[in-house]
Amino acid sequence: MKKIVILISGRGSNMEALIAARDAGQLPVDIAAVISNRPDAMGLETAARAGITAHFIDHKAFAGREAFDAALAECIDSFAPDLVVLAGFMRILKGEFLRVFANRVVNIHPSLLPAFPGLESWKQALDYGVKFTGCTVHFVDQGVDTGPIIAQQTVPVLTGDTAETLHQRIQQAEWELYPKAVGALARGAVRTQGRQTIWKEK
């Protein structure tokens, strides 16, 4: 069984979806640890209640990004994970960290990348006037939301939508898509070919 470590910064609603899928027998992984960059992250309590090792490494305690990233990498590496799964982790990972965990870091973003990268992408989509948006599971590379796409799910933009209502529906799609994508990666059902990812099974 593949082993994963989940990184969070707050509640970790996608982490909750992954734990629920594991508990339902739909996600064949061992969640070895949940790590937050914030000691007050609500998701740490959720992880502990689920019997998962919960750690925090406060990024404010370090002189800069590189020192924090090195400490985070050392902590993650102690669990020897096959995948590092970002679930609302509000730190940009770059440089040596991604070289250490090359092709093993995945994230979910609330838009149909490459459209609307960055923050509040649901608001970007609404302001732009698109008719469909959604969410994207992707590998993390040295850019921001630029890694190879693993899976996507569309969400219609409805008449009368607000940023809040659209965000809520995108989150529902994320909670469905992320466990499926992580499960496929864990089963070896996804392979990469350049920027393309090929699913061997549905």
Active site residues: 109
* Rounded Cα distance, 18 and 49, in Å: 14
Q: Using N-to-C axis directions, what is the helix angle for 163-186 and 121-128, rounded to 10°? A: 120
Which residues lie closer than 8 Å to 88 by C-beta, 6 or more apart?
8, 9, 10, 11, 12, 13, 14, 15, 43
- What DSSP element (H or E) covers 34? strand 29-36
Q: Is the preceding omega at residue 110 within 30 degrees of 0, hence cis?
A: no
Structure-token match 């339902």, residue found:
24
Residues of 22-49 as b/e, b for ≥16 C-beta within 10 angstroms?
Answer: beeeebebebbbbbbbbeebebbebbee
- 74 exposed, middle or buried (CB, 10 Å; 0-12, 13-18, 19+)? exposed
- For the chain, give the number of residues: 202
